[in-house]
Structure 1
């Protein structure tokens, strides 16, 4: 997206792209859909080699940036090549956060951020392997559903008392957990995976913090994502991404950032944070690329939105969903019937968040109202 925006505003400038992966760009959003068999590999690609050729983009496939020298405007690659730049867009994405004891290269321990991860998980599901997922957030729940739909034996292990605790309220978590358990996904709360056990470098089981042993062939860690910024000399304070202004420029002159690595202004929370959702990433990359080529576009700010389908049960959350209702600024209303659950959250009488489960028809209208209220 960023390269397209550059070329749309600059027909002659040299465009160089560096990708640690060896594939054409693909939709990370569709990885769980590939695991579940709903899409195939070719459905995930976002572009073609012919488009690269047509846009005149030179690509270094399978190469990693090891260091960024912003003073001399230079990138250092792992193949000993150095690249000079006039403007730079950092769109290096994120990687799963793996606890230190699990970083052993055991066959069977994985995250879900790449096509290779999805290949492995889909094969395991087809073979009806026993799978343990650590983490009950959006990715963990999506992956559990995908694996189960392909025939795997799935169990989620989470330390918190409920799934989706960061994006949903207690009632939504309860309803979704009940629905997942009715579809034969086991969910264990209040526990954590403390250790993995391998035989000949192949995962055989995990050990919980209680000492209980669970036999499994797959252990998927879905406990958050860290921005890929290892090439920066000073990474302190960048756990939520590299801060950008409304033009997507970082504190380094002529260096822009977009997507999972960018910390943008959340217009509801009123501070910079990483809102890692696909529509924002696309918009940010388009703005950054355009501004790199001389335009003066402005990012309108982030609003959190999450969407998933749990065995046919849709859920969408928008904006602030778990405020401290003991504070006088906050209030809520609930509509709960046999077909759906809806919770609207208000700050000083204005809509600031929404949770929709089952009937999600009004999601677009509510999101527009939430954004409008945030900027007034």
Structure 2
């Protein structure tokens, strides 16, 4: 099933709390990801008109809740997509945290439900459940969590979780709590999505594969009388010309050696995440044939877990590919690029106008597409001719 709607998409950016730099897989060109830098990225996303930012979760990242709490007061409109972790947090604690941050941000909190797909990391967090059991925990977690956010007093006895007289004394700003985002490609994950979340997320596979997956999720949700929103997680490398974009893509992995790729792929192979397996299958750890669909490049996934593909091209090409995903029913696009501060501006300036999205909010007279003042007192009136 496809849709012909071409409404402006919801465009998200990414806060790189796991590290940042100009190249992947190396310390060369690395940047310190401290609070001032994260503030710069958040303020850029807010002022450029991004709908929200995704904050990653896991032992390789700074804590997403603390980062969001540090940034809500300096932003005005930006939404924060923050993870709850079934099995790692009790649902009652997660509900209190979500309600508090929703109030502190005046309703700008979004929730990313993350079950976790790395057995080694899970064991380090005290979670010794298999894949199916973890999704059983997720279903019970969300049953309790959503009822609490809806204002109910909850008694619940499940296979994994048990609460008596659980309640939330201070309600969130958003009615029934913040919208729930969730990704997962396995059968248990799709069942959770169809029954319990608001927006289903996929990683950036070629459009045909995305269409096939969304058709399954859409049918599963419809069988339960539900209709979901859909989103996709991608990197982006956009330049004024296609050649420049592909040069930038190749430069991004220029310092990655084969040993680094092999070590990364060994880590990814131990994971029981169906989505991660699908990402690996796009390149199989090889540098050959990384353009897996028009303007879709799998090079990021050679060394980065999770989202491993990027849209690469000139502004018109990138906008065209986004519209192709929109035609599949995707409304939410979570982008990132290296370095994230620079690329947030580049994408906003080159692509957002083509999508009628993320317009700058003009607050003073010395803004807008004027260019640099000429000779101290003249505004440029047209693009200068090449000479």
What interval of TM-score do these two structures reach, taking the shorter chain for normalisation?
under 0.3
RCO higher in structure (CA 8 A, sep ≥6): 2
Instruction: Please identify which structure carries the higher strand content.
Output: 1
When normalised by structure 1's length, the TM-score is: 0.24
When normalised by structure 2's length, the TM-score is: 0.24
Instruction: Please identify which structure carries the higher helix content.
Output: 2
